[in-house]
């Protein structure tokens, strides 16, 4: 290779800076050919693959490749791989799910994904809930904590207008504004705190007992045990038809509060009433954004194993 | 300005190197090292080591699929990668030590590039003959004989290269199974691809590129230069003894004659194609073959050995002044090398110690802080923990979980009655553990309570513990 640059004079570009000149050596031939090859390759590439931008979209390329199609292919491949499990999950008897470890594990993982996409907005990423949105980690269930009860709640929701079987159809917590005086509200709130075993003004609570029995016990029970104690429509078919009676009035004689157990919050609840709503999630009731039966079962399995499941 | 003169050219075409056969103690040492290093490389994956029915029985195995590294009785999990880091630190310190004491001894004797090139040159010599025959063959026109010799040589190289690539993949999966799969065409494409790449690189680096890899591609020689000092051993030519060089002839009065008879033996055997008599050179890998060649010649002409020898930089002024050659060990044992040895040993002992105190069961605890605590209906406060139990035994083990006894906390495990968990052999089980403090108990009403998880392997009684925190409901 040293043959090329023997003794003959090399031209300069004619540029001169402070007496320093620039040689005008030709580019190495291999380099030039590689350069031409990349141009040819580049033209071929823009013909084969999406390349030139138009107003609305780019040229498609004769190979028909697109990254979206590639993603869709990958999603389809995963769906196909999961199809057998998903169809099994769709028709499984949830009460016996725990007997199938593999399906159960699949359901919990799938349910976790469904939960993160659909439920965390209200119930929180850790399922700890928020004011008015129940904590799903504890053992206090308004609508039942067995897996099939959870699935029923997810399917039909609470106090919505989508599902005929929606929970809490029987009523909401009414407003006692104008029914009870402000002092009466304070007294009954104090009594509710007493029922829950919390520190309170005992004199006011004593005043509140009769008010509670007259106004609240019909739904919340004489001892504040709630009207939901058991919603056993799965054991008693008769009960399902009578689900009108299920008002979803929470148990008051425990340490778990849906809206808060301090006096001010209790007064607010009694004064203004409450009526929590949850959408019906099964796709039959909300075609565009609902969950499939398999997804409902999966999310029920996930919620059931968070620590409070019964 | 004028054009550069021809000698100003920076580019130089490769001068082919045809090392001559040589015999001697350094050559023998190189043969032994080649036998040992290649032997280990090719045979190690085939050594079996019984670890019980659930674990692979290959003594050295990098099990990427299951994220395990097996080395005889040692098994490294991914979270114990610090052992590998420690080994790398030891390798680094070891290179410091050997470089400061003996210069490029790694390059000359143990570097894979050197070992495989040496092997390829050996094959070349067997097929095409020694130096003179190979030079003649190189200069001759292509004919049937040249083609036959070249094809034979290349075929032998390909076989060696293929075995090299093949041996590599055996380290990553069960060797006998893979060998059958490779032959029957059922092995994973990655195995074939890896073999193909390694075959090509071995052939190219060992057969074609050879010394150019050391001179142009390898960064290590440049780094080494920074670690050498005037006591570091390099290959040197005692020009104060050898010069003026010239043909061996009867001593004539008044004519100075050095010991070097200019026989070119040192140049002809050099795998790097240099003349060591020009002094220390970047290309020299200190393989010692020129020492063997020169010693042989010195013996024949009845002069003492060591005209070319392992020398340090500070030997020259001393010997020029008339001192006797210093023994090699005086160059090797000095404060610097002793310090490197000490550091190397500390890391080594530390690793061995860590290896021996390493438990066979381990536990890590991640408190779930979303939410920090859960109030149950009766006022019980619950904290949730993700607990990872690692069973490094070759058999499934029953692990018992407990809390330290000083607390009033209670423990339960999701999905399990009681607190016993079965962990399969050589695997990790993630369980969710609930820790509860009764209503109005101290822990339930205190912001934070320290406690300890204990896990016991019920069959071996090994125990492990983790300190963590219980968050209660702070009441004012």
**CATH code at position B239:** 3.30.70
Please tell me the distance from the alpha carbon of residue A140 to that of residue A197, in angstroms, as a whole number.
16
Predicted confidence (pLDDT) at residue A263 exceeds the cutoff of 70: yes
Q: Inform me whether the C-beta atom of residue A161 falls under 8 Å from chain B C-beta atoms.
A: no
Residue B346 lies in a domain: no
Which residue in the set A2, A139, A251 is minimally distant from B11, CB to CB? A2
- Cβ distance A256 to B376 less than 8 Å, yes or no, reads yes
Per-residue pLDDT tens digits for B272-312: 999 999 988 889 999 999 999 999 999 999 899 999 999 99
Contacts of A128 in chain B (CB under 8 A): 370-371, 374
Q: What's the pLDDT score for residue A116?
A: 96
The pLDDT, as a whole number, for residue A170 is 66
Provide mean pLDDT across the span B134-141: 93
Same domain, B274 and B392: no
Q: Is B400's pLDDT higher than 60?
A: yes
pLDDT at B207 over 90: yes
Residue B474's pLDDT is 75
Q: What is the mean pLDDT of residues B56-63?
A: 93
Note every long-range contact of B461-465, with CB atoms under 8 Å and residues 24 or more positions apart, other chains counting.
B462/B359, B462/B360, B462/B361, B463/B361, B464/B359, B464/B361, B464/B362, B464/B363, B465/B363, B465/B404
Interface of A with B in 184-213 (CB under 8 A): 197
The pLDDT score that the predictor gives to residue A159 is 87
Q: Which of B282, B305, B326 is the last residue of a domain?
A: B326
Asked if residue B354 belongs to a domain, the reply is: no
Q: Would B7 be classed as within a structural domain?
A: no
Mean pLDDT calculated for residue range A27-40:
94
Inside any domain, residue B20: no
Q: Average pLDDT in the A245-266 region?
A: 86
Last residue within a domain, chosen from B208, B225, B242: B225
> What is the C-alpha to C-alpha distance for residues A280 and A153, in angstroms, rounded to an integer?
8
Structure confidence at residue A228 (pLDDT): 60
Residue B464 three-state SS: strand
Q: Which of the four pLDDT bands, split at 50, 70 and 90, describes residue A246? A: low
B215 and B295 inside one domain? no
Cα maximum dimension of chain A: 118
Domain assignment present for B331? no
Do B221 and B144 reside in the same domain of the chain? yes
- Domains identified in chain B, total number: 3
Q: How confident is the model at residue B411 (pLDDT cuts 50, 70, 90)?
A: very high
Q: Within 10 Å of residue B445's Cβ, how many Cβ atoms?
A: 16
B310 and B422 co-located in one domain: no
Please, what is the average pLDDT of chain A?
87
User: Among all chains, which residue has been given the structure tokens 């240099």?
Assistant: B274
pLDDT at A242: 37
Instruction: Reply yes or no on whether the pLDDT at B423 is more than 80.
Output: yes
Q: What is the pLDDT of residue B146?
A: 94
pLDDT at A288: 86
Residues B203, B147 share a domain: yes
Helix (H) or strand (E) holding A247: none
Read off the pLDDT band of A244 (50, 70, 90).
very low
Residues B187 and B69 placed together within one structural domain of the fold: yes
CA B105, B109, B113, B114 torsion-angle sign: positive
* Overall average pLDDT of the A67-82 stretch: 95
- SS3 for B315-367 is HHHHHHCCCCCCCHHHHHCCHHHHHHHHHHHHHHHHHHHHHHHCCCEEEEEEE
Residue numbers in A near B9 (CB within 8 A): 2, 5
Torsional class of A27: left (φ above 0), alpha (ψ -120 to 50), beta (otherwise): beta
Bridge partner list, B427:
B391
**Same domain (yes/no): B55, B169:** yes
What integer pLDDT is reported at residue A182 of this predicted model? 93
pLDDT band at B398 (very low <50, low <70, confident <90, very high): very high
Token pair for residue B305? 């050995």
Residue A237 pLDDT > 80, yes or no?
A: no
* Cα separation, B106 vs B112, whole angstroms: 9
* Residue in chain A nearest B373 by alpha carbon: A128
The pTM (predicted TM-score) of the whole model is: 0.74
Q: Is the pLDDT of residue B8 over 70?
A: no
Residues counted in chain A: 310
| Nearest residue in A to B2, CA atom | A9
Give the CATH number of domain A84-167+278-304. Answer: 1.10.760.10
Interval B47-74 mean pLDDT: 90
Percent of chain B's residues with pLDDT above 70: 97
Indicate the average pLDDT of chain B. 90
Name the residue of chain A whose CA is nearest to B368's CA: A126
Contact between A150 and A167 under an 8 Å Cβ cutoff? The reply is no
* Closest-CA residue of chain B to A99: B415
Average pLDDT on B169-176 reads: 93
Across B470-474, average pLDDT:
88
The residue to which tokens 């330290």 are assigned? B404
Q: Domain A182-272, what fold?
A: Cytochrome Bc1 Complex; Chain D, domain 2 (1.10.760)
Domain(s) labelled CATH 1.10.760.10 in chain A stretch across: 84-167+278-304, 182-272
Examine the domain organization and report whether B244 and B206 are in the same domain.
no
Residue that the structure tokens 């003996």 belong to: B102
Q: In which band, very low, low, confident or very high, does the pLDDT at A21 lie, cut at 50, 70 and 90?
A: confident
Is B2 part of any domain? no
Give pLDDT tens digits for B323-375: 888 888 888 899 999 999 999 999 999 999 998 888 889 999 999 998 999 99
Q: Compare CB distances from B371 to A9, A126, A255 and report the shortest one's residue.
A: A126
Distance of CA A194 to the CA centre of its chain: 36
Q: Which of B225, B246, B263 is the last residue of a domain?
A: B225
A243 — pLDDT class (breaks 50, 70, 90)? very low
Peptide bond into B244 cis (omega under 30): yes
Q: Residue B92 belongs to what domain range?
A: 25-225
Kindly indicate the confidence band of residue B222, based on its pLDDT and cuts at 50, 70 and 90: confident
Angle value at C-alpha A19, between A13 and A24, nearest 5 degrees: 20
> Is the domain of B221 the same as that of B251?
no
B452 in Cβ contact with B465 (< 8 Å)? yes
pLDDT digits (tens, 9 = 90+) for B173-201: 999 999 999 999 999 999 999 999 999 99
Strands A20-23 and B463-471, by their bridges, are unpaired
pLDDT of residue A238: 47
| Position B302 in a domain | yes
**Mean of pLDDT values over B312-326:** 88
Euclidean distance between CA atoms B160 and B340, whole angstroms: 37
**Predicted confidence band of residue A229 (pLDDT cuts 50, 70, 90):** very low
Q: Which residue among B1, B3, B374 sits closest to A135, beta carbon to beta carbon?
A: B374
B399, B389 in Cβ contact below 8 A?
yes
pLDDT, tens digit, 9 for 90 and up, residues B454-467: 999 999 999 999 99
Cβ contact, residue pair A255, B375, below 8 Å: yes
Closest by Cα among B419, B414, B382, B376 to A304: B414
Answer yes or no: do B30 and B149 share one domain: yes
Cα distance between the two ends of chain A: 84
Residues 362-391 of B with CB under 8 A from A: 368, 370-371, 374-379, 382, 384
Contact B235, B311 (CB under 8 A): yes
Does residue B15 fall inside a structural domain?
Answer: no
Please tell me whether residues B220 and B249 are part of one structural domain: no
pLDDT tens digit string along B228-259?
A: 888 999 999 999 888 888 887 776 777 778 89
Specify whether B217 is located in the same domain as B254.
no
Q: Is B360 exposed, middle or buried (0-12, 13-18, 19+ CB in 10 A)?
A: middle
- Closest listed residue to residue B257, CA positions, set B267, B268, B244, B274: B244
């Amino acid at each position: 290779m040293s043959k090329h640059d023997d003794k003959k004079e090399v031209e300069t570009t004619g540029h001169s800076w402070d007496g320093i000149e620039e040689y005008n050596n030709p580019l190495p031939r291999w380099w030039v050919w590689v350069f031409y090859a990349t141009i040819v390759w580049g033209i071929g590439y823009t013909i084969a693959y999406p390349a030139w931008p138009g107003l609305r979209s780019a040229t498609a390329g004769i190979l028909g490749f697109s990254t979206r199609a590639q993603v869709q292919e990958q999603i389809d491949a995963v769906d196909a791989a999961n199809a057998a499990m998903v169809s099994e999950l769709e028709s499984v008897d949830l009460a016996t799910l725990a007997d199938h470890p593999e399906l159960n594990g699949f359901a919990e993982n799938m349910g976790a994904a469904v939960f993160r996409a659909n439920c965390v907005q209200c119930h929180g990423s850790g399922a700890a809930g928020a004011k008015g949105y129940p904590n799903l980690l504890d053992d206090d269930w308004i609508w039942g904590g067995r897996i099939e009860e959870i699935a029923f709640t997810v399917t039909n929701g609470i106090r919505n207008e989508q599902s005929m079987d929606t929970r809490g159809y029987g009523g909401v917590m009414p407003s006692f504004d104008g029914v009870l005086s402000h002092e009466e509200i304070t007294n009954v709130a104090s009594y509710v705190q007493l029922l829950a075993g919390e520190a309170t003004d005992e004199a006011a609570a004593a005043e509140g007992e009769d008010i509670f029995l007259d106004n609240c016990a019909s739904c919340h029970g004489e001892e504040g045990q709630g009207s939901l104690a058991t919603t056993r429509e799965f054991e008693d078919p008769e009960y399902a038809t009578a689900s009108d009676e299920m008002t979803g009035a929470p148990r008051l004689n425990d340490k778990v509060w849906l809206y808060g157990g301090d006096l001010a919050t209790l007064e607010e609840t009694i004064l203004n009433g409450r009526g929590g709503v949850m959408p019906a999630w099964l796709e039959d009731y909300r075609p565009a954004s609902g969950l499939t039966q398999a997804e409902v079962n999966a999310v029920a399995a996930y919620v059931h194993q968070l620590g409070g499941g019964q | 300005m004028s054009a550069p003169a021809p000698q100003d050219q920076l580019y130089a075409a490769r001068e082919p190197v045809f090392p001559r056969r040589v015999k001697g103690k350094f050559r023998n040492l190189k043969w032994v090292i080649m036998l040992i290093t290649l032997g280990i490389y090719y045979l190690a994956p085939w050594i079996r080591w019984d670890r019980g029915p659930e674990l692979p029985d290959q003594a050295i195995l990098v099990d990427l699929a299951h994220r395990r590294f097996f080395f005889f009785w040692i098994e490294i999990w991914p979270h114990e990668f610090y052992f590998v880091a420690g080994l790398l630190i030891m390798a680094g310190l070891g290179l410091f030590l050997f470089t400061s004491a003996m210069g490029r001894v790694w390059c000359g004797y143990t570097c894979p590039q050197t070992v495989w090139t040496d092997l390829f040159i050996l094959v070349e010599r067997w097929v095409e003959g020694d130096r003179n025959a190979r030079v003649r063959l190189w200069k001759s026109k292509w004919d049937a004989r040249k083609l036959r010799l070249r094809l034979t040589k290349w075929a032998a190289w390909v076989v060696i290269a293929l075995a090299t690539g093949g041996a590599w993949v055996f380290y990553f999966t069960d060797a006998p199974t893979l060998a059958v799969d490779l032959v029957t065409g059922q092995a994973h494409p990655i195995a074939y691809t890896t073999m193909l790449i390694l075959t090509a690189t071995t052939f190219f680096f060992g057969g074609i590129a050879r010394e150019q890899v050391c001179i142009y591609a390898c960064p290590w020689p440049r780094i080494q230069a920074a670690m050498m000092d005037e006591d570091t051993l390099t290959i040197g030519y005692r020009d104060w003894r050898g010069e003026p060089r010239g043909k061996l002839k009867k001593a004539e009065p008044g004519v100075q004659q050095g010991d070097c008879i200019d026989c070119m033996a040192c140049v002809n055997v050099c795998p790097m194609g240099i003349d060591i008599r020009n002094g220390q050179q970047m290309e020299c890998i200190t393989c010692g073959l020129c020492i063997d060649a020169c010693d042989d010649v010195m013996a024949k002409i009845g002069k003492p050995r060591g005209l070319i020898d392992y020398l340090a930089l500070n030997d020259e002024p001393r010997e020029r002044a008339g001192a006797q050659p210093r023994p090699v060990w005086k160059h090797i044992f000095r404060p610097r090398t002793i310090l490197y040895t000490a550091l190397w040993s500390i890391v080594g002992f530390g690793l061995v110690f860590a290896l021996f105190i390493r438990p066979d069961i381990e536990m890590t605890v991640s408190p779930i802080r979303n939410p920090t605590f859960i109030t149950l209906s009766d006022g019980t406060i619950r904290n949730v923990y993700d607990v990872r139990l690692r069973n490094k035994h070759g058999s499934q083990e029953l692990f018992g979980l407990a809390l330290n006894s000083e607390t009033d906390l209670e423990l339960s495990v999701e999905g399990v009655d009681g607190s016993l968990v079965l962990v399969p052999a050589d695997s990790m089980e993630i369980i969710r553990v609930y820790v509860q403090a009764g209503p109005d108990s101290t822990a339930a009403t205190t912001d934070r309570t320290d406690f300890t998880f204990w896990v016991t392997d019920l069959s071996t009684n090994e125990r492990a513990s983790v300190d963590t925190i219980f968050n209660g409901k702070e009441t004012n």
